[in-house]
Structure 1
Amino acid sequence: MIEKTGKKPKPRVAMLITSLAGGGAEKAVSMLLQGFDPERYELHLIVNRKEGPYMSLLPSYVQVSEMNAPRLRSAWKAYMRTLRQVRPDVVISHMWENNVLNVIGRRLSGLRFATVLCEHSSISRHRGKGVNIMRRWCYKRADAVVGCSQMMGEELKDILQVPRSLVHVIYNAVLNESFYSRANENVEHYWLQQGPVEAGASNDSWVIEDEVHIADRDEVVASNIPVLLGLGRLSPEKRYDLLIEAVHRLHQRGCKVRALIIGEGAERERLTKLIADKALESWVELPGYASNPLPFLRQADIYVQSSDVEGLPTALIEAVALGTSIVATRTATGTEEVLEGIHSALLVPCDDVEAMANALEKQVMDLAIRRQHNEELNVPSKHIVDHFIAPESIREIAASYVDSLDTQFQRLNKFTLSYVVEQYESLIRDVLKKYGIEENAVSRQL
């Protein structure tokens, strides 16, 4: 807790989030806690439920507190009890309910600490009645509000009327020194493994005119049929139904593609039924959550973002970094910023299955042409790797775009862990100064 006099050599920094389930905001929190210097900060994580795949990635020096409230909206007493135990100097909360809890918890607890609120989803996204009224009241009383994209920063000012002086834009960290080594791990799914070409598939084209019967999967290891990849939580806003319907329309045109949708969530039953209704059981699969989806993304032919809403699409950034071909919906925030200057990526309107099918067909044809000419789909750029990947890493960044190396580096650098941590450290210093705390200079270990 902040005292009116005196200084702490190691400010107590706490992250507040519901859990570390497998979502983009949860991944961002996990990355930040791995990136912050424990010699500079005493690091805490406050969660309602101590669960989720990213829990296992937390460094041992992060102290975890679990509120264990029946519902997050009724967690006031549990949060105040946790605050009195942790006595933080700064609480950085993530997602709107935790942001509201953070501000009101400070007022009710009587403790003095800085509040930094982070939004990870478009503010213009439809919410329940009264949500924006509550957010307007709370966000104006925070010490800083972070949007994870430029457009989200504008929405914070325009829709929630957060004073411009409080709004900061900091992208989520996606790339770290292990990114490319993890991407280079083996892919277990048989569609993405090297092997014999199945009967009926042309060696010269990825557009298959005749129906290919797939009865014995053991015999079908791999083929020239392109694999589309969806990646993320199986939730309504991700609109994987749009991707499934687009695959169905491509098959009706004689353009055979396969699709893997990596993730888990409440939409599994509905999506499984849709796949069966479209008779796509042999063409679309839902393998579930993958602790490391990067090898799938590296090996897939086209990454497909079908979402209606994104804050800052993590998987899209990963696809850019790996040089995977892209078809993406033009969401209100995040997407166009990630794809700025990448002319090979195709953007389509949200909720437009015909536009998505057309874009996918174009990407399939372009990939087939490049394959026929033996063109490299991924052009290595060691120069960029050396800027933000550890020297011992042998994985080279994929850059399939006609840009200068400096342009490629600038595009990706803003999503690196080291850069994002620097932005947050600067923000923490600023909000601590409001409470009379000057951080002792600590040399970062390189």
Structure 2
Amino acid sequence: MLQPVPRDASKDPRRKRVLFTLVFMGAGGIERSVCNILAGLDSERFATRLFFHHRPPPDREDRLPRNTEVVWATDSYDYHRQSLPVYLWHLLRHAREADVIVAGQEGRAALLACLAGRLLNKPVVGMIHFDWGAFHREQPRRQLWGLRLLYPRMNRIVACGHDTARSFQSLVPVPEERLQVIPNFVDGDVVRAAGEGPLPDWAPAVFDKPVVIAVGRLEPQKGFDVLIRAHALARKRGVDQHLLILGVGSLEADLKALARSLGVESTVFMPGFAANPHALMRKAAVFALSSRFEGLPMVLLEALALGCPVVSTDCPSGPAEVLEHGRHGVLVPLEDPQALSEALGRVVTDEVHRKDLSRRARARAEELSATRALGAWEALLASL
């Protein structure tokens, strides 16, 4: 079981002490992005600590960076608004020992990081992961108010992509010199090693046909309803494929009902959370990203690293930036099941096209290496 590292582990006057904060250790791209940064920072220059409001679940402990002290406020996985003072009190204990505080995600993590920075007179860096131009329309109005209240008071803001930065700046008045773009990245070697891992027991029945795979939270943002409709259209045209959607969320019952209503429930597989999605992605014929909006999606970078052919919606923000407007994968319009179906069907049935997209994916993954992004993070943290 995961145990907090002794609290004096990061006391080294030669290294800058950096405290990253997250609400919990989820299975999404935000958590993977933060852990990738922590795993890559030069341990001779930076002493890092990762603070969670809630204890990391046991089945996700292996995703935590090994060179980082991990601490948390409560063993409970449940959130109660009245517990905010408890989270803040524990955060202040750890922030006193830090030189820089990094809010690893928007929302509650950013709120408490800002409060801790103000109370302790510590510099705060905020990370932006979403295209807020689209995302704020799905959120309570207080989320946008929170952005406009908190982020102009931070010392630096890091957006995960150029499109994300432009969208954020259109909503939140922050000085140009405080906003910096440092793209998300993945360690390709780690992703490919995970891709060589064993498949779960249920996988052989899925992979007896070519598989279209998608990974993400079962929420409206991810557009899995459009993907299921696209799959049904492909099956209707005679494309003999299976659709595998990995993830959990509030729309699970609705999506399964949609598959039943379209007569494709026997070819749509939704097994929930997968501890190692990369092994499944590596074996798939094509990776589908059907999102209505993103930031700079980690799962897309992971698909490229695995050489998985990519078909993505041209949503704000991220896919067009990552795929260079279609040079390294196929982009289709939003909310268009027919276009998505045709693009996926061609990859499944055209081996030459599929191999070309795989080659392009690997080439793009090499271009999006971690070295430049980590150098930018180290320079930023050292400057504060």
Bucket of the pairwise TM-score, normalised by the shorter protein: 0.7 to 0.9
Letter in 2 for 1:44: R
Shift in CA distance, 418/10, structure 1 to aligned 2, threshold 3 Å: same
Q: Which stretches in structure 2 are left out of the alignment for 5+ residues?
A: 1-11
Distance of 2:64 and 2:302 partners within structure 1:
21
After superposition, residues 24-423 of structure 1 pair within 5 angstroms as 24-52=29-57, 53-68=59-74, 71=79, 74=82, 76-86=84-94, 87=96, 88-97=98-107, 98-107=109-118, 110-124=119-133, 125=135, 126=137, 127-188=139-200, 223=208, 225-340=209-324, 342-343=326-327, 345-367=329-351, 370=352, 377=355, 400-401=359-360, 408=363, 411-413=364-366, 415-423=368-376
Distance of 1:79 and 1:344 partners within structure 2:
43
Shift in CA distance, 73/28, structure 1 to aligned 2, threshold 3 Å: farther
RMSD of aligned alpha carbons: 2.7
Shift of 1:72: 7.2
Instruction: Give yes or no for contact 2:282–2:308 (8 Å, CA) kept in 1.
Output: yes
Shift of 1:230: 0.7
Shift of 1:358: 2.4
Shift of 1:181: 2.0
Q: Specify the alignment match of 2:7 in structure 1.
A: none
Distance of 1:162 and 1:73 partners within structure 2:
28
Give 3-state SS (helix, strand or coil) of 1:15's partner: strand
Instruction: Give yes or no for contact 1:175–1:415 (8 Å, CA) kept in 2.
Output: no
Q: Specify the alignment match of 2:8 in structure 1.
A: none
Q: Which stretches in structure 1 are left out of the alignment for 5+ residues?
A: 1-6, 194-216, 379-397, 432-446
Give 3-state SS (helix, strand or coil) of 2:101's partner: strand
Instruction: Give yes or no for contact 1:30–1:54 (8 Å, CA) kept in 2.
Output: no
Please state which structure has a larger fraction of its residues in helix.
Answer: 2
Instruction: Give yes or no for contact 1:17–1:47 (8 Å, CA) kept in 2.
Output: yes
Letter in 1 for 2:339: A
Give 3-state SS (helix, strand or coil) of 1:42's partner: strand
Shift in CA distance, 186/66, structure 1 to aligned 2, threshold 3 Å: closer
Letter in 2 for 1:293: P
Bigger radius of gyration, 1 or 2? 1
Instruction: Give yes or no for contact 2:188–2:305 (8 Å, CA) kept in 1.
Output: no
Give 3-state SS (helix, strand or coil) of 1:266's partner: coil
Instruction: Give yes or no for contact 1:100–1:135 (8 Å, CA) kept in 2.
Output: no
Instruction: Give yes or no for contact 1:94–1:118 (8 Å, CA) kept in 2.
Output: yes
Distance of 2:242 and 2:130 partners within structure 1:
29
Shift of 1:240: 1.1
Instruction: Give yes or no for contact 2:288–2:312 (8 Å, CA) kept in 1.
Output: yes
Instruction: Give yes or no for contact 1:33–1:58 (8 Å, CA) kept in 2.
Output: no
Letter in 2 for 1:244: I
Instruction: Give yes or no for contact 1:146–1:169 (8 Å, CA) kept in 2.
Output: yes
Shift in CA distance, 342/309, structure 1 to aligned 2, threshold 3 Å: closer
Distance of 1:47 and 1:96 partners within structure 2:
14
TM-score, normalised on structure 1?
A: 0.74
Is residue 2:24 matched to residue 1:13?
no
Shift in CA distance, 346/105, structure 1 to aligned 2, threshold 3 Å: same
Give 3-state SS (helix, strand or coil) of 1:16's partner: strand
Identity %: 27
Shift in CA distance, 190/20, structure 1 to aligned 2, threshold 3 Å: closer
Instruction: Give yes or no for contact 2:328–2:360 (8 Å, CA) kept in 1.
Output: yes
TM-score, normalised on structure 2?
A: 0.86
